[in-house]
Structure 1
Amino acid sequence: MMPPKPPSRPDRVSLWRYARLFRKDILSAQPARLYRAWMAEFRTPFFQSYLINQPDLLQRVLRERPGDFPKSERISEGLRPLLGRSVFLTNGETWERQRRIIDPAFEGGRLRDTFPAMQAAAEAAATRLRQAGPEPVDIEPLASHMAADVIFRTLFSIPIEHETAARVYHLFRDYQRSQPILNLAAFVPLPGWMPRFFNRHTRRTAREIRALIAELTRARMRQIEDGTAPDDLATKIMTTVDPDTGDRFSGDEMVDQVAIFFLAGHETSASALGWALYLLAIAPDWQDRVAAEARGWGAGSFSDMNRLRLSRDVFREALRLYPPVPMMVREAGCPERFRDRDVPRGAQIVMSPWHLHRHERLWQRPDEFDPGRWHTENGRQCQRSAYLPFSAGARVCPGAGFAMIEGPLLLSTVLRDIRVEPVAGRAPMPVAHLTVRARDGIWLRLVPRG
């Protein structure tokens, strides 16, 4: 099954045309040759960047020497209004301290504790979708609603219908549609004193989201002090002490972290879920198998999740074809040499799951939807060396395990009672906002199963 790809651009375009395309939509700006190249160089008057697809180079940057390749400040600038100094954007000692406090909340035992809240959100989503009428619906906002409900229930023990949760959700939907990944700072080296060029709407929406998160955080702090706080992820993170310093997150720091939890735990999951449902709509045989597995599973427990093998393979394949974060950028902290080419200090190192997951020299039938590939030798090898939906190494997403429980669970619960069907003439076109979304939505029909 061949899902649609974005239109390829010519291999050679002017710098400023490329910059305009890149800012508007990263995916459409990429030339076709990058799906077969091991490495590519891109020069501007201000900096050099290198896209790397070669597995041993990825290994060097992400696993062997991550400290020599910190997060790029250029790309971070585009997310700063919302995420502040969150763990997604920081480097060095600040990042290490943040991870020491955050990581315990996402260990296996904590995932087991959050599973009932996750399952309640999945059942609520299935109930809402069963009530949908016969007309086609855009599944993207519905997937966003499901993923946001999971985050609020597991993080703050409140459903999406809670007034503050609903407000954050709607503001974030607005923000992610209007905010490009890159702003001028990504292409032009602005001095630290110069204001960044965010439009008024972006700044206002980010302030409103952060104010609401601060309200939730202050309320939780009071509950912790009173001994009435629920035992959820927010409480765990806010009460965890850094074993090296004895410090906890301050209120302002917690706002930064909750913002990235919502971005990483809601926006990325929603993207993957929407594409997974579309892929199953155009592959009805796979969909029927997932539905049969879900009905056999029933309302299983956390320890039964390993029985949702087909659903997990489908979700993993959706993450391959439509990785929510299409590109990750690091900066060379010292002079390097990649493929007999000198890479200067300060160069931008681009690792692109979008290209890597469809690389013609690594994957068999890279553009085909085939959940069965994960049980082939090629699939197993590529999963180890050419599959980065959550990054890898020291900076792997702390919520990767959470996502791989949430995705298959939501997918199975929804498809247990509902069939999804494509709408003729409305094949979705992937574009990159904050994550990989569809330009005009993902339109499906939801049909009750007999």
Structure 2
Amino acid sequence: MTPPKPASRADRVSLWGYLRLFRRDILSAQPARLYRAWMAEFRTPFFRSYLCNDPVLVRRVLEERPQDFPKSARITEGLAPLLGRAVFVTNGEEWLRQRRIIDPAFEGGRMRAAFPAIWAAGEAAVARMGTGVVEVEAAASHAAADVIFRTLFSIPIEDQVASAVFEEFRAYQRSQPILNLAAFVPLPAWMPRLRRGATRRSAAVIRRLIAGLTERRAAAIAAGDAPEDLATRIMLTPDPVTGTPFGAAEMVDQVAIFFLAGHETSASALAWALYLLALYPQAQEAVAAEAAGLAPEFAAVAKLRFTRDVFRETLRLYPPVPMMVRQNRGRETFRGRVLRAGAQVVISPWHLHRHERIWDNPDGFDPERWQTEAGKASARDGYLPFSSGPRVCPGAGFAMLEGVVLLALLVRAFRFEVVSGREPVPVAHLTVRAKDGIWLRVSRRA
């Protein structure tokens, strides 16, 4: 039994056929050869795009010379109304300043400080989980949003403002086009863009609600009674170079990306992990046994070794962010091909994580691979669910802690089974989600 994977398109299609496929789903719009190719070039009258699976090229772009391959400005075309100038979309000195302020909030003992809030969100998720046939993507989304609000602003998802942000974000997801076509397919300036009023309205509402939260937190900091959470730490951290902290508008941008990245990606990974455990009951029982004696103590998480490997394997098979787009500043040579300045360079975790020349049994679910030398070697060459290099996600450790704890608590309390005829089909929305949701039969464990 193999986990679901989108069918690949024919090797040759017209440009307009490709664009139609792309609008429907970026994953199934790609040919099967990308799962074994080290590099692929896509040519159109408007642009050149190069997908790189060669580990040497991936390291060059993300780790060795990231300043020469900044993020494509086209990414902001779809996300700017929500994110503004958040760290996810900036480059150069602006990005460096943002990371100097943000990174300390996720360093060292910060995970220990966040653990009680994550545990509380996990217990709340267990209390909310229904039985019978349940759409678990929605449940995972609710749980991940709860984690974000508890760790960022010390409020549960039931808080009036937190609940309003969550509901508005669901509306934003529904109105947002599948991924952002302009980010991956550079269209000529004269070609009309699809503008969605509902998406912009939802983004404006979310930003207004976040602005209210940050204003109240600034007042609490001034009064000396602010809680010691992520929002307080970030707002009090000055840039060590300039000595200035984030301004009010900057903080709204950063909170927006924390919610988008921290909530959307964690929800995707958790839902797919529950599905994989339903598909492989023996692995699910191993997670349940490992979690049976779990205490609400940060040190106890280290004992969840198999659960962590299940979550790693989930991120391999269903990386929340399937593709990353960069743009080369100058002329480059990749595997004997000359890239002109301004070309589009795509790094695809989706293809790297399933690459036939990097992984054994690339499409299979095998948590045990993470304890083998072969698995560890493959990971060094082809595993980047949180990107890598200077632009690696600052919340990567936080996301792993959250995912492992939530998965353990849910599987300890419930048994998850597949529903006949409801196999999920992976598609790329803001993250890798299931086309019609992930439906599982849920029953409470004795």
Q: Check the 8 A contact 2:22/2:181 in 1, yes or no.
A: no
Quote the residue 2:73 is aligned against: 73
How far did 1:19 drift?
1.7
> Could you report, residue by residue, the CA deviation over 1:214-264 in whole angstroms, capped at 9, with x for unpaired residues?
111111111111111110000000110100000110111011100110011
Aligned equivalents of 1:382 and 1:303: distance in 2?
A: 29
Moved over 2 A (4+): 183-187, 194-198
Gap regions ≥5 residues in structure 1: none
Aligned equivalents of 2:71 and 2:52: distance in 1?
A: 15
- Equivalent position SS for 2:356: coil
Quote the residue 2:91 is aligned against: 91
Quote the residue 1:55 is aligned against: 55
Letter in 2 for 1:208: V
- Equivalent position SS for 1:420: strand
How far did 1:139 drift?
0.3
Quote the residue 2:442 is aligned against: 446
Identity of aligned residues (%): 66
Quote the residue 1:381 is aligned against: 377
Aligned equivalents of 2:365 and 2:98: distance in 1?
A: 37
- Equivalent position SS for 1:108: coil
How far did 1:187 drift?
2.5
CA RMSD, aligned part only? 1.4
Letter in 2 for 1:399: G
How far did 1:165 drift?
0.6
1:202 aligns with 2:182: no
Quote the residue 1:160 is aligned against: 157
The structure-2 alpha-carbon separation of the partners of 1:305 and 1:142, relative to structure 1 and needing over 3 Å to count, comes to: same
- Kindly tell me the number of residue pairs found equivalent between the two proteins: 444
> Could you report, residue by residue, the CA deviation over 1:320-378 in whole angstroms, capped at 9, with x for unpaired residues?
00000000000001110000000111001000011110011110000000100111222
Letter in 2 for 1:188: L
Quote the residue 1:26 is aligned against: 26
Q: Check the 8 A contact 1:6/1:430 in 2, yes or no.
A: yes
Letter in 2 for 1:374: W
- Equivalent position SS for 1:80: helix
- Equivalent position SS for 1:161: coil
> Could you report, residue by residue, the CA deviation over 1:301-323 in whole angstroms, capped at 9, with x for unpaired residues?
11222111011000000000000
> Could you report, residue by residue, the CA deviation over 1:148-181 in whole angstroms, capped at 9, with x for unpaired residues?
0000000000000011111111111221233132
Quote the residue 1:178 is aligned against: 175
1:214 is aligned, of 193, 198, 211, to 211
Q: Check the 8 A contact 1:154/1:233 in 2, yes or no.
A: yes
How far did 1:188 drift?
1.8
Quote the residue 1:240 is aligned against: 237
The structure-2 alpha-carbon separation of the partners of 1:217 and 1:195, relative to structure 1 and needing over 3 Å to count, comes to: farther
> Could you report, residue by residue, the CA deviation over 1:26-61 in whole angstroms, capped at 9, with x for unpaired residues?
111111111111000012222211000010110101
Aligned equivalents of 1:42 and 1:2: distance in 2?
A: 30
Matches within 5 A, 1:334-345: 334-345=330-341
How far did 1:189 drift?
4.0
Q: TM-score if structure 1 supplies the norm length?
A: 0.96
The structure-2 alpha-carbon separation of the partners of 1:189 and 1:97, relative to structure 1 and needing over 3 Å to count, comes to: farther
Aligned equivalents of 1:281 and 1:43: distance in 2?
A: 42
Letter in 1 for 2:15: L
Aligned equivalents of 2:154 and 2:24: distance in 1?
A: 37
Aligned equivalents of 2:296 and 2:213: distance in 1?
A: 31
Matches within 5 A, 1:290-329: 290-296=287-293, 298-329=294-325
The structure-2 alpha-carbon separation of the partners of 1:163 and 1:115, relative to structure 1 and needing over 3 Å to count, comes to: same
How far did 1:195 drift?
9.6
Quote the residue 1:414 is aligned against: 410
Aligned equivalents of 1:196 and 1:252: distance in 2?
A: 27
- Equivalent position SS for 1:29: coil
How far did 1:114 drift?
1.0
> Could you report, residue by residue, the CA deviation over 1:268-320 in whole angstroms, capped at 9, with x for unpaired residues?
00000000000000100000000000002x22411222111011000000000
Aligned equivalents of 1:125 and 1:339: distance in 2?
A: 48
Quote the residue 2:189 is aligned against: 190
Q: Check the 8 A contact 1:183/1:197 in 2, yes or no.
A: no
Quote the residue 1:261 is aligned against: 258
Matches within 5 A, 1:224-239: 224-239=221-236
How far did 1:184 drift?
4.5
Letter in 2 for 1:205: S
- Equivalent position SS for 2:109: helix
Aligned equivalents of 1:25 and 1:171: distance in 2?
A: 24
Letter in 1 for 2:302: N
Q: Check the 8 A contact 2:358/2:381 in 1, yes or no.
A: no
Aligned equivalents of 1:330 and 1:262: distance in 2?
A: 23
Letter in 2 for 1:133: T
> Could you report, residue by residue, the CA deviation over 1:128-163 in whole angstroms, capped at 9, with x for unpaired residues?
22xx233x1100000000000000000000000011
1:278 aligns with 2:275: yes
- Equivalent position SS for 1:28: coil
Aligned equivalents of 1:216 and 1:300: distance in 2?
A: 29
Aligned equivalents of 2:302 and 2:310: distance in 1?
A: 14
How far did 1:449 drift?
1.1
Quote the residue 2:124 is aligned against: 124
Letter in 1 for 2:322: P
1:150 aligns with 2:147: yes
How far did 1:23 drift?
2.6
Aligned equivalents of 1:51 and 1:178: distance in 2?
A: 28
